[in-house]
Structure 1
Amino acid sequence: MNNIYRPLFQPPLAYYKWADGSWDPLLAEDWEIDADAATLTVNLIEGAKWSNGDDFTAEDVWATFMCRRLANGTVWRFLDSVEAADEHTVVFHMSDPSAVVERYVIRNEHIVDRATYGEWASKIQDLVDQGLDSDSDEWKALLQEFNKYRPEELNALGPYTIDMDSINEARLTMVKNESSWLADTVNFDLIYIYNGETPTVTPLVLAQQVDYATHGFPPATEKAYQSSGIRILRPPTHSGPALYFNQTIYPFDRTEVRRAIAYAIDKVENGTVSLGESGKVSKYMCGIPDELIPNWIDDTSVFESYAYDPDKAASILEGIGFTKGDDGVWVTDKGDRMEYELTAPAEYADWSAAAENAAEQLTKFGIATTYRGVEFRQHPIEVNKGNFEMAIRRWGTGNPHPHFSFVADLFTRNIEAAEGPGMSFPMVQDTDCCGEVDLEKTVEDMTIGLDLDAQKELVVTAAQVFNELLPIVPLWERYGNNPAMDGLHTCGWPAEGDPIYDNNPYRDSFVLMMILDGTLYPCNQ
């Protein structure tokens, strides 16, 4: 709900168009980065109103970002202040100019209202004026108080608001916000948002009770949709399932073993079994989605594709002293059988299918692997705690700067794991390609400055190191297999090949954009 549909009532400043790298402004009229002054100045639209009747002003944007400051929002790694310069101008001052600030400010934050959050923003500003930060007791106390805050009403700026009485475990209803500046642009009076993972949503799609869904549906389910006349959209998600290793467990800390495992799995088969046409293998296996490569890396010949080659996998293991036992299971150079458990979120149909297939393939190769599904909310916690041997978690992310994908690959379930050590992959590595590399510094430094050529050098280094060491093994990139009731309940869907479908269905949802600009409209109802 928060990632996909929130812009319908609390929009960001703009949406990003992946096909050409342009922006589709919403609350921002325009903006400018001044490298010398280290500022990002945003000029806001005029005339927009909140559902409580208040005008939308720079004070709302200021309140939004001050509340994010209290919660240590990522954007504040790069900012040191935000100021409402006048009623419709906001100035963000960067601690160091960074190319990623534009994305964080313009797209990633959903704007909330000063009527609901302005008092909190003022309290935060008071702490800042006193020279206090997130380490102070006063800051921690205010954050604890803020986290308990539950507004009684939703003050909406977008063209829809939530009917609070409609909320139940199955769905909620959004009703048109007639005071929104987009109320006359959108074409739907009501929007229903259904709750539930793939098993819950599948019968709703088959019964044509939903017009669009973003879940990962098994190939058999997808075929059933198509047989019913339901159109399938395949946008890139810029991420997918990867094989994670607990590198406190020998021999997963050995690069040779991870590389052998990459060769031992037929990733084309894995993607097809899991998601049909929408499970597409990465060509470059360098930690960032293939779609980003042309913008950042010129020479792709340095990357190993890790195409299916079980003979090469066996040769690698034999080269480090591993042998196959009489039962066909590999034995390490320390005499231990290679027998492991692979976990995945049980409710994620595509990831659990990928895990089952990977376990079967590894077992056939001689690495005895048992699959176990874990409840989807618990699974990331167990991985973060290091309570796993092998696991399926995400690689890559839907952001046009490679920094974010490397954070997903190397930080999220590793050095930034909330509950523990995660996969325990050391971030300083000796490599054949690049000598000694501090991956944490390399990934963080690729956000510094506005010189994209300098950033490209760091991106290339991180990509080469990832491809050589394979801290995780990307199995495939997930393209959507999103059912759309084209012509059944909704009309206006563009034809295949339209550049709007280059957008990520989650981070820069093309459906949300087409609702907000009036492209989609109800029909045959």
Structure 2
Amino acid sequence: MATKSEIVPPDKLVITLREGAKWSDGKPFTAKDVIATFNVGRLFNWPVFNYVDKIEAKGDYVVEFHMAKPSSVVERQVLRERIRPAATYGALAEKVEALLSQGKTTDSEEWKALLKEATEFRPEGLIVSGPYNIDPASITEAQLTLVKVPTAWCADKVQFDKIVIYNGETPTVTPLVLAGDVDYATHGFPPATEKAFIEQGIRIIRAPIYTGPALFFNNDVYPLNKKEVRQAMAYVIKRDENGTVSLGDSGRGVRYMLGFSDNLAPLWISEADLKTFNTYDYNPAKAEELLTSIGCKKGADGIWVDDKGNPLAFELLVPAEYADWSAAAENVALQLNNFGFKITVRGIQFQQEATEVRSGRFQIAIRSWGAANPHVYFAYVNDLFVDNYVQSTEGKGMNFPMKQKLADGTEVDLQQLIVDSVAGLDEAAQKEKILTVAKVFNELLPVVPLWERYGNNPARETRVTGWPPEGDPRYLNAVYGDNFVIMMILDGTLKPK
């Protein structure tokens, strides 16, 4: 809904809106809607307000965001936000403005009461700015239908009158794809399922996801708090094998071990600097050396014990519903056990696994590393904040200390380094900070990335045409971030046969 975005140094972001666009109720789309959206967002403490302190309309079609703490991530945070109609949320937004004018803060009772009111608010119906709206009568546990809004600003470009969206994990969606009911899916399909798709003549789109599974460690469990143990595990896991076993050609072993996607590495770190990083190539001898250096010994039964005489035996949690992660966990356990660790895999419901990890009730867990965002700050937040005491509201999580001493004696505050990596508008300065964070991550390995997931997304061409060829740059957009299929529906690239 924006036609222009401009950062105006030293501290402003100016957004120009699309003129002539209308909401589905016929009202014009204007700056008033943007202001209402972000005022309600302020109530919910959206991350953009870590940087932005004031938002003003400059006429009906220009909005100015003032940054109290200038940061280059503000532009993406603003542009990717879904704008809500003032017709629906304007009253709440005005109440937020009133509280701000009275000097009320998030700790005040008035703020908490309004937050409760907003959380419990349920609109009578959806007013949308895009070319599709939800048909309420179509909603079931299994699916819903989007119907075209003929008055939308891009209604002449989109080619589908309706889109059916199916709900369900991989076991539910697989038969729908094979039966021809689903034209495109983004699940992580096991290699055997992908083979069945290919045998049916279904095209597979293998786009980068910019994330994947990693080993997360509870630092309250000795000796997982020692970097040498984590490094040893990295040396004895064949990451390419783990990826192939888990997801075929779509599971690609991590190379650089920086904590963010290998695809993003050259955009943030020079080729010369990348050559200095430890890639932790398979090296069981090095793993033995590391464990021995901290007093570990291999017993007569082939199991390593720590310096206190306790076996290096740990439970590995994994979300049971994720077929690819479950396969990764089983393969990791096999590889580590062959070396002399004693790993037992336990699969649990995916939401419960998140709770167990954030509550600190785990030893090792398969969790997501990286992030589908061009700025790698968000990858480090996912790696080190979300499941750690930094952000967890359920417990200490992995309790990885963010203040550390490196091998050369340097003391670092990793949390502050990560926060500082998005400060300011100078990209070169940010790259220097990211390089420092990457070096710390590479040495300490607070989590051990296994592989980077690429989509193995079935794209049936029976009813849909227009899929671009392999190598089209649109496929570099993250499947779960800036979804290229949505883009190609909106601009008319994809159309019915």
TM-score when normalising by structure 1: 0.93
1:139 and 2:114 are equivalent in the alignment: no
Counterpart in 2 of 1:4?
Answer: none
1:429 and 2:404 are equivalent in the alignment: yes
1:433·1:465 contact (CA, 8 Å) conserved in 2?
Answer: no
The Cα shift of 1:432 comes to: 2.8
Counterpart in 2 of 1:18?
Answer: none
1:98·1:450 contact (CA, 8 Å) conserved in 2?
Answer: yes
1:33 and 2:1 are equivalent in the alignment: no
Q: Deviations over 1:281-336 (max 9, x none)?
A: 12110111111111211111221111122222122112221111222111000111
2:50·2:69 contact (CA, 8 Å) conserved in 1?
Answer: no
Counterpart in 1 of 2:445?
Answer: 470
d(CA) in 2 for partners of 1:54, 1:87:
13
Q: Deviations over 1:152-178 (max 9, x none)?
A: 101111000000111111000000011
Counterpart in 2 of 1:86?
Answer: 59
1:442 and 2:417 are equivalent in the alignment: yes
Counterpart in 2 of 1:342?
Answer: 316
1:231 and 2:231 are equivalent in the alignment: no
1:43 and 2:16 are equivalent in the alignment: yes
2:209·2:452 contact (CA, 8 Å) conserved in 1?
Answer: yes
The Cα shift of 1:478 comes to: 0.6
1:113·1:155 contact (CA, 8 Å) conserved in 2?
Answer: yes
Sequence identity (%): 56
Counterpart in 2 of 1:24?
Answer: none
Counterpart in 1 of 2:378?
Answer: 404
d(CA) in 2 for partners of 1:365, 1:488:
49
2:105·2:111 contact (CA, 8 Å) conserved in 1?
Answer: yes
Alignment of 1:39-188 (within 5 A): 39-107=12-80, 109-188=81-160
2:165 to 184, 190, 193: 193
d(CA) in 2 for partners of 1:345, 1:287:
21
1:279 and 2:254 are equivalent in the alignment: no
Q: Deviations over 1:357-411 (max 9, x none)?
A: 1112111111111111111121111111011110011110011111111111111
d(CA) in 1 for partners of 2:334, 2:98:
59
Counterpart in 1 of 2:342?
Answer: 368
Q: Secondary structure at the match of 2:486?
A: helix
Quick one: which amino acid aligns to residue 175 of structure 1? V
Quick one: which amino acid aligns to residue 127 of structure 1? L
The Cα shift of 1:433 comes to: 5.7
d(CA) in 1 for partners of 2:391, 2:424:
23
1:267·1:281 contact (CA, 8 Å) conserved in 2?
Answer: yes
d(CA) in 1 for partners of 2:413, 2:204:
43
- For structure 2, which runs of at least 5 residues remain unmatched after alignment? none
2:214 to 221, 239, 242: 242
1:481 and 2:453 are equivalent in the alignment: no
Counterpart in 1 of 2:490?
Answer: 516
d(CA) in 1 for partners of 2:6, 2:365:
43
Q: Secondary structure at the match of 1:308?
A: coil
d(CA) in 2 for partners of 1:185, 1:274:
39
Counterpart in 2 of 1:301?
Answer: 275
TM-score when normalising by structure 2: 0.98
Q: Secondary structure at the match of 2:36?
A: helix
Quick one: which amino acid aligns to residue 280 of structure 1? R
Q: Secondary structure at the match of 1:237?
A: coil
Q: Secondary structure at the match of 1:312?
A: helix
Counterpart in 1 of 2:481?
Answer: 507
1:433·1:464 contact (CA, 8 Å) conserved in 2?
Answer: no
The Cα shift of 1:83 comes to: 1.6
- For structure 1, which runs of at least 5 residues remain unmatched after alignment? 1-26
Count of matched residue positions in the alignment of Structure 1 and Structure 2 = 494
Runs of 4+, deviation exceeding 6 Å: none
Alignment of 1:291-330 (within 5 A): 291-298=263-270, 299-330=273-304
d(CA) in 2 for partners of 1:361, 1:316:
17
d(CA) in 1 for partners of 2:51, 2:355:
28
The Cα shift of 1:434 comes to: 7.8
d(CA) in 1 for partners of 2:38, 2:431:
29
